[in-house]
């Protein structure tokens, strides 16, 4: 009796995740090793279970690395990976630069103000991501609000929409809450007497910040950066809506291969390579998540 509930409680979500999360990745891997064909679903081969061992052997023989060869041979994809990583890296650094002072300021407010500000950071997260990105189209487009503002100030127009800069703005804007929240959590729980102790020991405030506050907030910095960087690399909506043809990102490439070119095996191969690129940061994030969540145990 004692063990029935726990077993069941673990088994159901476990089974769900195996079927709907782990199994699909194996399918992607398998498909990436298949030939493309113009049928729907547009790929061969499929295992012919009726053929018994021979059918399976035929299936294995048909697997090949053609899609990966094509992927390596095409500099377009290599460039897309590099530019995705660069966008994500720059976006993460910018989000950190904007987010840290925000989180720091919030942590120093009175408790009542603090929870209000925290709410204000979370609220955009609850509103549609797509809508928030879309709002920037109206601001950045040539006859948009930004140029109207610049015109009033007598400054020349800045045509930002469909440029890499627009993608960068969109990334920082969309992921800022993901950066601020872990930073705030790390800063808020810091004991203010530490700073008093530092001051008492003769440290000026700016030194105390670099010697006490910042080092103690590093777990928050790492969490925030990973939480921004990983999804940024695979981002689709932002480069699609705000970036021009020059803003290559890998998430968009997968989408194009899949929906425009209908080359499912090739899309799968691109996805597998993206996943491999992200394995290290994802594992780092997992570790950090497990540590944070299971600290109370």
Partner 1 sequence: MRRGPSPFNLVSMTVGFAFLYLPILLLVIWSFNASKLVTVWGGFSTKWYGTLFQNDQLMAAAWVTIRVGLISATLATVLGTLAAVALTRHGAFRGRTLFSGMSYAPLVMPEVIMGLSLLLLFVALGIDRGILTVTLAHTTLTMAYVTVVVQSRLATFDRSLEEAAQDLGATPTRAFWQVTLPNILPAVLAGWMLAFTLSLDDLVIASFTSGPGSTTLPMRIYSQVRLGVSPEINAVCTLLIGAVTIGVICWSIGMKWRERTATPA
**Window 151-190: residues binding partner 1 (CB under 8 A):** 173, 176-177, 180, 187-188, 190
Site for partner 1 in 120-149 (CB under 8 A): 120-124, 126-132, 134-139, 141, 143-145, 148
Q: Which of 33, 171, 225, 271 binds partner 1 (CB under 8 A)?
A: 271
Our finding on whether 227 is near partner 1 (CB under 8 A) is yes
Q: Select from 56-64, 69-77, 216-224, 263-271 the region that touches partner 1 (CB under 8 A).
A: 263-271
Our finding on whether 263 is near partner 1 (CB under 8 A) is no
Q: What are phi and psi of 142, to 5 degrees?
A: -50, -40
Our finding on whether 203 is near partner 1 (CB under 8 A) is no
CB of 160 to partner 1, least distance (A): 14
Our finding on whether 37 is near partner 1 (CB under 8 A) is no
**Which residue lies nearer to partner 1 by CB, 87 or 188?**
188
Site pattern 92..111 for partner 1 (x: CB under 8 A): ------xx-xx-xxxxxxx-
Our finding on whether 241 is near partner 1 (CB under 8 A) is yes
110, two tokens: 């009175």
Our finding on whether 33 is near partner 1 (CB under 8 A) is no
CB of 289 to partner 1, least distance (A): 5
- CB-count burial class (<10 Å; 0-12, 13-18, 19+) for 184: buried
Binding footprint of partner 1, residue count (CB under 8 A): 103
**What is the widest separation between alpha-carbon atoms in the chain?**
81
Q: What letters, b where the CB count within 10 A reaches 16 and e where it falls short, cover 55-78?
A: eeeebeeeeeeebbeebeeeeebe
**Which residue lies nearer to partner 1 by CB, 160 or 274?**
274
Q: What are phi and psi of 31, to 5 degrees?
A: -65, -35
Our finding on whether 214 is near partner 1 (CB under 8 A) is no
Q: Which of 13, 52, 204, 245 binds partner 1 (CB under 8 A)?
A: 13
Site pattern 49..88 for partner 1 (x: CB under 8 A): ----------------------------------------
Q: Where on the phi/psi map is residue 37: left (φ > 0), alpha (ψ -120 to 50), or beta?
A: beta
**Which residue lies nearer to partner 1 by CB, 66 or 240?**
240
């Amino acid at each position: 009796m004692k063990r029935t509930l726990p077993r069941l409680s673990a088994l159901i979500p476990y089974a769900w995740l195996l079927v709907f999360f782990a199994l699909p990745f194996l399918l992607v891997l398998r498909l990436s090793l298949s030939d493309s064909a113009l049928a729907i679903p547009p790929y061969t081969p499929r295992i012919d279970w009726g053929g018994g061992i021979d059918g399976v052997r035929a299936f294995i023989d048909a697997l090949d690395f053609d899609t990966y060869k094509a992927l390596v041979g095409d500099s377009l994809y290599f460039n897309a990976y590099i530019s995705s990583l660069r966008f994500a890296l720059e976006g993460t650094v910018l989000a950190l630069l904007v987010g840290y002072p925000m989180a720091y300021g919030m942590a120093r407010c009175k408790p009542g103000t603090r929870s209000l500000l925290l709410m204000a950071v979370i609220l955009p997260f609850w509103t549609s991501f797509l809508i928030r990105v879309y709002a920037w189209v109206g601001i950045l487009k040539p006859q948009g609000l930004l140029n109207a503002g610049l015109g009033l100030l007598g400054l020349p127009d800045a045509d930002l929409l469909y440029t890499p800069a627009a993608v960068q703005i969109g990334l920082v804007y969309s992921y800022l809450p993901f950066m601020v929240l872990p930073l705030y959590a790390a800063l808020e729980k810091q004991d203010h007497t530490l700073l008093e102790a530092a001051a008492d020991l003769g440290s000026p405030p700016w030194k105390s910040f670099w010697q006490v506050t910042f080092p103690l907030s590093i777990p928050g910095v790492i969490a925030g950066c990973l939480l921004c960087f990983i999804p940024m690399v695979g981002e689709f909506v932002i480069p699609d809506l705000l970036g021009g043809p020059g803003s290559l990102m890998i998430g968009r490439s997968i989408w194009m291969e899949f929906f425009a070119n209908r080359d499912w095996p090739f899309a799968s191969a691109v996805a597998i390579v993206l996943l491999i690129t992200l394995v290290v940061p994802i594992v780092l994030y997992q570790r950090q998540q497990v540590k944070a969540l299971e600290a109370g145990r």
